[in-house]
Amino acid sequence: MTDKACFLLRIRPEHLPEYTRRHADLWPEMRAALDTAGYRNYSIFADESGLLVGYFEADDTARSAQRMAAHPVSTRWSEDIGWMFVSMDGARDTRDGHHWLQRVFDLDATRSAVRS
């Protein structure tokens, strides 16, 4: 069964082009770490205010996120781009600097329930 996770981050809006460029040129070792940690179907969306929405799937998203947080390349990546971020004021769950969202609806799950 695939687990799904979604999180929020915020960067300064003026840094969105640089943030986008750095992800277009993602370090090969970061890509390999994400693969090793079990990330699948990983996407990041942004709006003009600097709000970022990340989404990924894994067999166990919490475990995959923990693996990434503990990986040395994550530390290097965070040091390299961390200056772009601002805090998520009022966020309750900010593990690893992310504001994790709780899933409240999943269309695929409703389809599976109907088939059962």
pLDDT at 56: 97
Number of structural domains found in the chain: 1
Question: Catalytic annotation on 23?
Answer: yes
Q: Is 60 exceeded by the pLDDT of residue 90? A: no
Angle among Cα 7, 28, 50 to the nearest 5 degrees reads 35
Mean pLDDT for all residues in the chain: 89
- Compute the distance between CA of residue 45 and CA of residue 49 in angstroms, rounded to an integer: 12
Q: Please report, rounded to a whole number, the percentage of residues in the chain having pLDDT higher than 90.
A: 71
pLDDT bracket for residue 110 (50, 70, 90): confident
Which CATH number characterizes residue 107's domain?
3.30.70.1090
Q: Which of 23, 71, 98, 99 is catalytic?
A: 23
112 CB neighbour count, 10 Å cutoff: 11
Q: Is 90 exceeded by the pLDDT of residue 92? A: no
Q: Which domain holds residue 102?
A: 3-115
Q: How far apart are the first and last CA of the chain?
A: 15
